[in-house]
Amino acid sequence: MELDKRLEHFEQHQLDEGDEYGAEVLHHARERITQLEVENERLRGALIILRPKMLEAQEVMREHGFVIDNLKDPWQKFAFTLYSMLVQVHCVSDTALGGE
């Protein structure tokens, strides 16, 4: 929001100076920044939901005594693949959220 207020100030300054093109460019920049901020919050919310899924999967595996010890078994290989995907989602989410 601080950036938006500063850009608004510069936009008004450009208008006061008679530079309508410069004011229009700043106005479009402010609109785009607002769109990106909304998108950022939406993505952040999704990452917060996805990040703990690996830990939830580990808990389910512990509760049910599930062990992956035979990757020749198609179901165990499938479970391992899904779990590996959850680990990747966790790592990407954690990195994107800055370890929050």
Predicted local distance difference test score (pLDDT) of residue 44: 92
Mean pLDDT over all residues of the chain? 90
CB 47 within 8 Å of CB 17? no
Local confidence band at 64 (pLDDT 50, 70, 90 cut-offs): very high
Domain positions in the chain are 1-50, 51-100
Contacts of residue 44, Cβ cutoff 8 Å, sequence gap at least 6: 97
Percent of the chain with pLDDT over 70: 97
Predicted local distance difference test score (pLDDT) of residue 84: 92
Angle between helix 2-16 and 20-50 (nearest 10): 170
Consecutive H or E run containing 48 = helix 20-50
Predicted local distance difference test score (pLDDT) of residue 54: 86
CB 81 within 8 Å of CB 68? no
Predicted local distance difference test score (pLDDT) of residue 7: 87
Contacts of residue 100, Cβ cutoff 8 Å, sequence gap at least 6: 48
Q: In this model, does residue 99 exceed pLDDT 80?
A: no
What letter does residue 67 receive in the DSSP assignment? Answer: -
Mean pLDDT of 66-78: 93
Mean pLDDT of 1-16: 86
